[in-house]
Structure 1
Amino acid sequence: MASAGIDGEVARLQAALTRDVPGRIVDTPEDERRWAALAQAEIKARGQVIRRPQLVVVVDRNPAIQQMRIVLAQPSGPWRSLGGTTVSTGQEGRRGYFISPTGVFLHTDEILDWRAEGSFNANGIRGLGLRGMRVWDFGWQTAERGWENDGGTAEIRLLVHATDPDTLEQRLGQPASKGCVRVPGPMNVFLDRHGILDVDYEAAAKADPRYEAVLRPDRTPTPLAGNMLVIVDSAPGLVAAAQPR
C-alpha cells in the first residue's frame, strides 16, 4: 500500500473514531512516541515481525494508565497512534481475578469468535455488554493469580469484549476484570465495523460461512487490518526494560 493510500486510510479511520467513539483519547506527539516505543519493544521481544503496514491494538495494563490505542505499525517509517480509549484489565486482590498477561496475542482463524447475548448474570450485570457486541477470543493464556503474592499462575481465556453500559462502563480506566480486556461499547463497535483485528477472519470468511456469520454485515474492513493484540505494562520499574534499544 502506497504512502498516500496509508495516509488517506489513517485519516478516514481517525475521522470515524472522532465521530463514533465519544471520549476518544488523542495523543500529544510525546505520548504518541511513548505508545509506539512500548508497542515496538513488546513486538520485538516476542519475536514478531511487522512485514507490512498494519494496525495493532495496544493495551497498557499499568493500573495508573488502563488505556488502549490503535497504532499503525510499519516495517519502515514512523509508527502512529490513531487514538484510543480507557479500558479495564485484570484486578489484583480478589480471588478468582487474574493479572492480564503482557505479550503479543494473535487473532487468527484457529479460534471462532462469538457475540454477546446481552443476558444478565446472577448479579444483574451484562458481563459482555449489549446483545450483539463482538467478543474477540485469543485462546488460553498463562496469567498471574492476582490474589496471591507468590507468582502463581493459571490458564485463562483471554478475551477483548465490551461490558455493561449501565453499571460497569463508567468504571473503565481502572483494573476491574478477571483478566480479560474490557473496552467501551463504541470502541467495540468501531473495532468490529472496521475489522481492525480481522485480517485473518476476512480471508477465512471467503471459504467458511462460520466466519462470515461472525463478521458484521455492514462492515467496511480497512486495508490496514492486522491481527495483533499487544499488552504492555508501563508501570515504574518496567518502563526502562520496555524501551527499544
Structure 2
Amino acid sequence: MRRLRTGIWLALAVVLAGCARPALRTALPRPEPARGTAGMIFDAETAKTRAALARDVPRATLPAPAAAAAWIAATQGALARAGVSLTRPQLIVVVNRDHSVQRLCLVAAAPSESWRVVGCDAVSTGQSGRRGYFITPVGVFAHTTEILDYRALGTFNENHVRGLGIKGMRVWDFGWRVAEKGWRRDGETGEIRLLVHATDPDLLEPRLGQPASQGCVRISAAMNRFLDRHGVLDREQETEARDNMRMAATLPADRTPSPLAGGLLVVIDSANAA
C-alpha cells in the first residue's frame, strides 16, 4: 500500500512539473545591423569635408546639435516644398537669410543616411530699406550647365569697391529670379540675377553676417575658394567639362572635386518658418 502511495505521489510530481511555468530566460539584445559600404563611404567623405572646411575656412564653425538639427529640418522642408527628392549623397549649400542669422551651412545629405551639417560661415544677403536693393529670394535653386559661371576681374567700381572680390574669385550664376524690392513696403517684386560671389576683402568682407547685398549671396574669399576647389556645386559642370572647353575654362585647374559634389543652393528664412 505504501509503495502504491509513493508511486502515485511520484506520478503527480511528474505531471505538476510538466505543467509548471518554464524558467524565464534573459533576452539577448539584437546586434546592430552592420553599416553598408555606401553608408561608410558617406561617413568618411563627410568627415573628410568637415576637416578640410575647418582647415581652409578659418572662421567656419560647427553648430550645436540642436541648431544643426534645425538647419537640417529647414533644408528638408524646403526641398519637400519644391518637390525635390535626392537620388544620391551630396553636399547642399544652405543659406539662412534671417537678419539675425546671415549664415551659410554645408549640409551633407543622402537618401538613406542621417544628414549632417559639415560647417557654417557668415554671409550677407539682400538688404531692405535701400533703393535698388532686393531681398534674396527663398527656395531651391539648381546650378546647371545651361548658364556659364565666370570669375571676378578684381577691378574697382566708381565707389572704389571690388564688388565681386579679388581677381579670380568664382561667381556662381543661378539665373534670373523674382525677388522682393527691399525699398518697397507693398511687396512689389522684380527680377534679379541671383549670384553667389565673394566681395571686397577690405571694405565689405568684414561686414559679413548682416544684410548688405543687392539680392545676391556674398560669401568670404575663403569659402569661395573652398566651394570652387572642391566642386561643391559643380557636379553637372564637372561632367560637362570633359567635352566642353568653355565649361572646363570656368573650373579651377587645381581642383579636387568631392565625391559628394552636388548642385543645389537652398535659401531659407528661419524668421518666417512655418
TM-score (norm 2): 0.86
State the AA in 1 paired with 2:156.
Answer: F
- Structure 2: distance between partners of 1:13 and 1:120: 34
Does residue 1:234 correspond to 2:267, yes or no?
no
Please say if 1:50 is aligned against 2:86: yes
Q: Alignment partner for residue 199 of structure 2, among 149, 163, 166?
A: 163
Q: Partner amino acid for 1:228? A: L
The separation in 2 between residues aligned to 1:5 and 1:78, in whole angstroms, is 13
Q: Which residue of 1 aligns with 2:155?
A: 119
Deviations 1:168-201 (A, max 9, x none): 0000000000000000000000000000000000
1:89 aligned residue: 125
Q: Is the 8 A contact 2:125 2:213 kept in 1?
A: yes
What is the distance in 2 between the residues matched to 1:139 and 1:58? 17
Residue in 2 aligned with 1:134? 170
Picking from 107, 111, 124, the partner of 1:71 is 107
Give the secondary structure class of the aligned counterpart of 2:120.
strand
Q: Please tell me whether Structure 1 or Structure 2 has the larger radius of gyration of its CA atoms.
A: 2
Deviations 1:181-232 (A, max 9, x none): 0000000000000000000000110110011100000000001111100000
Aligned length: 238
1:198 matched to 2:234? The reply is: yes
Tell me whether 191-200 or 3-12 shows the greater mean CA deviation.
3-12
- The answer as to 2:66 corresponding to 1:40 is no
SS at structure 1 position matched to 2:69: helix
What CA distance in whole angstroms lies between the structure 1 residues aligned with 2:157 and 2:108?
A: 37
Distance 2:123 2:192 in 1: 18
Within the alignment, does 1:104 sit opposite 2:155 as a pair? no
| Aligned-CA RMSD value | 0.8
Residue type of the alignment partner of 1:111: I
Task: Give distance in 1, aligned partners of 2:211 and 2:108.
Answer: 26
Listed as ranges, the gaps of 5+ residues in structure 1 are: none
2:131 & 2:182 partners in 1: Cα distance?
7
Find the counterpart in structure 1 of residue 29 from structure 2.
none
Deviation at 1:77, TM superposition (A): 2.2
How much has 1:75 moved relative to structure 2? 1.1
How far did residue 35 of structure 1 move?
0.4
Work out whether 1:184 is the aligned partner of 2:184: no
Give the aligned residue type for 1:17: L
Q: Tell me the SS of whatever aligns to 2:141.
A: strand
The offset of 1:164, in angstroms, is 0.5
Instruction: Mark the runs of 5 or more structure 2 residues left unpaired by the alignment.
Output: 1-36
Which segment is superposed worse, 96-105 or 45-54? Answer: 45-54
SS at match of 1:2: helix
